[in-house]
Structure formats: C-alpha cells, structure tokens
Amino acid sequence: MPNEAKAQHIYTVSEVTQDIKLILENTFAEIWVEGEISGISRIPTGTIFFNLKDNLSLLKCVVFPSYVSALKFELKDGLKAVIFGRISVYEKQGSYQLYAQKIEPRGIGSLQLALEQLKTKLEKEGLFSPQRKRAIPYLPSCIGIVTSLQGAAIRDILKVLDRRFKDIRVIINPARVQGEGAKEEIAQAILDLNRLNEEKSFAEKIEVMIVGRGGGSIEDLWAFNEEAVARAIYNSKIPVVSAVGHERDWTVADLVADLRAATPSVAAELVAPKKEDLQARLEELKSGINQAFLDFAQGLWDSLDEMAHRLTLRNPVQVLQQYLDKAGDLVKQINLRMSHLIKLRESEFLKSAQNLSSLSPLNILSRGYSITFKTPEGIIVKDAKSLKNGDTIKTRLHKGEIISQVTEVN
C-alpha cells in the first residue's frame, strides 16, 4: 500500500548499502574462513581476486598487494585454505566479499593456525600490552625458576648465576617442559611460586622468575605457545622472564612475559647483576658520601673563618686601639716637629743677639769715637753751644775717661 511507504523510512540504495556494510563489518571484523580456492585473477596493481567455495556456497575474496607480499606460498586453484580477514561490501557492485589478510594452507599449518588464533585473541585481551610489562628488579633477593631438572636450561642458568652473583638465593619449581601435561605443569609451577611468595617476608620474596627451557623443535617448544601457560605468566604477580631456547620466532610465552630472553643463559644474565660491579659502585658511593660531607663541613668552616675575620675588623675595641695608635703617632710627630722648631728659633736668636751687640755705643768707642757728658749733670753733649767757658766735661773713651775744663766754645 502506497500510504505505508510514506509512514516508513525510505532508504536510498546507497543508504541501505552503507547500513549493510556496517553490519557486515561489525559482525565479521576478524574471521577465519575455510574453503577451496578457485577462479584466481590478478590485476596489474597486484591485487588478487578469487572465490572460496565449499559444496554449497561461494565467497568472493580480495587480497590487497600489501597482504599479497606477506604470503609465504603461491595461491593455486583447488587449494584448500583457511583465510583470515574481514567481510565488507563493494558498494558499486552491491556485493560482499572477504578482504583477506592471511591465508594458511589447510592441513599443513593447522598448528600455526591455532597459534595465530590464540595470538589474536590474547593480543585483543591486552596480554601482550607493553604497558603491562613490569620492571625486572636490579638485585632480586630471590630468583624463581620454572623448568625441567632434566634439561640443559637449569644447568646453564645456574652456571651463569654462579659466575655473576655466587650466593644469590634460588628456588626451582620443576616442571615438565614438553610432551603431555607440560603446559599444565608449567602453569601450575608459576602459580605455586606466587603462592609460596605470599608466605614469605619482604626480604625473602621471590622478586623475579625465569620460565623456560633449552632449544628444540617447534613441537618441543609448543607448551610455551599454549594458552594455559600464557595466562599463568599474565596472572603471575612475580615478574617473568621468558627463556625459551630458540632465537627466531617468539612463542606466546615470550609475548606475554615481562622480558624475553633468547636463551636460558641470557635470562640468568638479565636477572642477576655482577656482584663485583655492585660492590665497586657501593664503595664509590660510600667514599663519595664521606668526601661530600667533609667538603661540606670544610665549606662551613671556611665561611665561619671568613665571618670571624670580618667581625674582628668591626670590633669596637680594635677600632679604638687603631685610633689610639694613630693619636700616639701624631703626638710623636708633633714632639719631633716642636724640637726642630725650638732649635731653629734658638739659632736665630743667637744670631740676632750678636747683631745687637755690634750696635752698642760702647762698641763704637772702640773704633776711636768718644762720648762727652756735661758734669755733674751727666747729659750727653751734642751741641757745643750747650756749654760755656769754665764748664767741666767728662769724655768717655774706649778705655778710660778724661775730665776737662771748657776754655773756648765756637
């Protein structure tokens, strides 16, 4: 009925296609699909198209060049395969297809396939997250080891520990590392070391554990690719160093562990520092702290000395003494100058006295001059008119006197 169409939302083709695409992408974001490959075609850009079939259905598949280059084998019609990818919609054709990211040949790589699935799952759960990785202690008070007592790994680890830090404490929790029951034993051993640790005092705690085994075939190492082991490592409160003896591919245990060592020997080196190195460093710090403190104290003494010195300069007694000294100096100088001055004045006086005596009238007499006095008055006669005949005069010579009577006045 046309009225019903009005009441409902009417999609455009693009809208409904978009919605379908969203639904498919959300539902099949990461899936594995098994089937037989057929109808392979390549286009010049490198993209490969093919169909994946079983006896009832067909799924179109696309492999983009970046994934093509990662393929370890060549795609061929008729090959049974398991394909990992996402389902999406090619809007222009209105067709859904599998955008393949990984292709495993069926049968040959089933172990590998399981591993990939597990890795994907654990990765999604965050078991491999770098943020989760814990620091390995520098000098663990006790090291835990989970491995077989029969393998080469335990000997290698103990040998290295003995060389680097002879008397470090070790607790081994033995576990089978290959074959039936290995994964359960390894997981249990990791759990038990954690439980044992709960009873231990701080100074005795297991601070790191090595979980691993020596090298072997991929099947021998398989226990370390098992989910149980991965989860036990993840749940361990004690940091874990994985040591699965093979350098190439990483096992799942390696991916979950806080630190991955390529071999058990390397793991031992990573958890145990060299004792001599630590001793040397500690000695260095010990003398460093003593020297630093002595220097510090010396610095205090020096500044104390300097302050004391500066204080002395401002001591009032000292200042007074300085003034007294200065005053004393001045008095001495004054005395010295005064005596000079007095001597100078004395000699000047003597000279003047001599000059004075040469001016005495008596001295003139010695040169033949004489002085005449009127007697008895004793007045010096300077004018003849002051005298008259008959007056008595006295003449003073250089030596002696003459008494005479005036007979004539001119």
Partner 1 sequence: MAEIRFEEALKKLEKIVGDLEQGNLSLDEALKKYQEGIELSRVCSQRLESAKKKIDVLMKNKKGEFELKPLDKEKLEE
Chain contacts with partner 1 (rule: CB under 8 A): 137-139, 141, 149-150, 154-155, 158, 165-174, 189, 192-193, 195-196, 199, 202-203, 207, 275, 278-279, 281-282, 285-286, 288-289, 292-293, 295-296, 299-300
Task: State the nearest-atom distance from the C-beta of 138 to partner 1, in Å.
Answer: 3
Q: Which CB atom, from 170 or from 186, has the smaller least distance to partner 1? A: 170
Query: To the nearest whole angstrom, how small is the minimum distance from the Cβ of residue 199 to partner 1?
Result: 8
Give the nearer residue to partner 1 in terms of CB position, either 302 or 346. Answer: 302
Q: How do strand 48-53 and strand 31-42 relate by DSSP bridges?
A: antiparallel
Strands (E), 169-298: 169-174, 208-213, 240-244, 259-261
Tokens of 241: 């160093």
User: Going by C-beta distance under 8 Å and a sequence separation of 6 or more, which residues neighbour residue 375?
Assistant: 392, 393, 394, 403
What is the nearest approach in angstroms of partner 1 to the Cβ of residue 298? 10
Nearer to partner 1, 137 or 216 (CB): 137
Q: Give me 364's structure tokens.
A: 């003139």
Per-residue CA distances from 171 to 76, 190, 364 (Å) = 54, 12, 143
- The reply to whether omega before 273 is within 30° of 0 (cis) is no
Q: Minimal CA–CA distance to 221: which of 266, 253, 175, 269?
A: 253
Distance CA 138, CA 141 (A): 10
CB 245, min distance to partner 1, A = 17
Amino acid at 86: R
CB nearer partner 1, residue 147 or residue 251? 147
Taking the least distance from each CB to partner 1, the nearer of 126 and 299 is: 299
Q: In this complex, which beta carbon is closest to partner 1, that of residue 47 or of residue 194?
A: 194
| In the complex, minimum distance from the CB of residue 143 to partner 1, in angstroms, rounded to a whole number | 10
Q: How far is the CB of 173 from partner 1 (least distance, A)?
A: 4
What gap in Å lies between CA 127 and CA 123, rounded to an integer? Answer: 6
Residue of 30, 32, 68 whose CA lies nearest to 50: 68
CB of 228 to partner 1, least distance (A): 19
Q: In this structure, are residues 245 and 212 in contact, taking their beta carbons and an 8 Å threshold?
A: yes
For partner 1, the closer CB: 103 or 241: 241
